[in-house]
Amino acid sequence: MSSQIPTKYLDQVLEHHTQDMTGKVVAITGTTSGTGYVCAKEVARKGATVILLNRKSERAEKALDQLKTEVPEGKFDPIACDLQSFESVRNAAESIKRKYRIVDVLVNNAGVMALRDQATPDGYDVQMQTNVLSHFLLTKELFPLLRLSDQGRIVNHSSMARLGPPLAIEYFEKKGGDLGGDGTEEENFSFRGPRWMRYHQTKLANAAFTYGLKNKLEAANISNVLSLLAHPGLAKTELATTSAAVGGMDADAEFMNMAQSAEDGATGIIRAAMDPKAQSGDFYGPDGQGWNGFPEKLTPEDLLFDEANIQINWEGCEKAVGAFEI
């Protein structure tokens, strides 16, 4: 489950920016590989019970077996959750509610990147439903359990692709398959065009969700739930491999030479999930130019908490999956 790229920062983060998680329940989406797998492994090593939220697949079963091998004392609870199906997400949330009274950390990690212009069975863009709408739904369904934690944490995963134009409501609507097409090879290989615009919209939406949620928690005088954001920089994970397989990017692009390991890519969400000094609104990611480096606490760009972006995200998500009462 490890890349060939040397890991530089994970041990330092684990030593100085985490806490004992014994007795805590951590739910993570997308743990079959990459940043989600690394996060699941490390929070389990710290003593947490880890709910693994993935689509049923041979890949998910192999990842679970590998986690059990790497962390023999770990407590892992796989629950089927297909983020391309609202019904599946609701069923996963109900399963969690039946088994657990409290969830301490929800890591909305899973994501897809630069996929073709196609609709999910629910009618939404596959990137928007996977990366944003289903995570909003999962968060609102599990919020009552997070509310009961001594310090609940909701961790959203963005990326450098958050930077760009503001959110547009059409990307949140039932227009899957009618949002710009697949673009040309030249556009896709230079990280431009409609596929990458749809991806940008999802990564900005994840950030806007974080700061919109933070505002609502503060307005409701809820101080025991933190809304947190992280991004992995450029990490060598299956995300790029999947995108390249459907023509979204060049897997051998020179740009990828800047990539850091999946382990270092996961350090942002690891800090957000376990840093004892975390405060609501904290944003963790690589320092410097943002592509690689130690996961510092970053200053969010203005567009991440822009009122118009927050409103479009919240209203678009609620229209798709129902009201989120704080």
Q: Which residues of the chain have pLDDT under 50?
A: 1-3
What structural domains does the chain harbor?
Answer: 10-321 (3.40.50.720)
Give yes or no for a contact between 236 and 291, defined as CB atoms under 8 angstroms apart. no
Per-residue pLDDT at 3: 47
Residues marked active site are found at 199, 203
Per-residue pLDDT at 1: 42
- What is the side-by-side strand order in the sheet with 295-297? 75-80, 49-54, 25-29, 105-108, 152-157, 225-230, 283-286, 295-297
Tokens of 173: 């609507």
Whether the model pTM is above 0.85: yes
DSSP for 138-164, please give it.
HHHHHHHHHHTSTTEEEEEE--GGG-S
Q: Helix 86-99 to helix 134-147 angle, to the nearest 10 degrees? A: 20
Give yes or no for a contact between 2 and 262, defined as CB atoms under 8 angstroms apart. yes
Per-residue pLDDT at 255: 55
Of 41, 298, 31, 269, nearest to 155 (Cα)?
A: 269
CA dist 160 and 46 (Å) reads 29
Per-residue pLDDT at 289: 75
Q: What is the pLDDT of residues 125-155, one digit of tens each?
A: 999 999 999 999 999 999 999 999 999 999 9
CA dist 122 and 51 (Å) reads 25
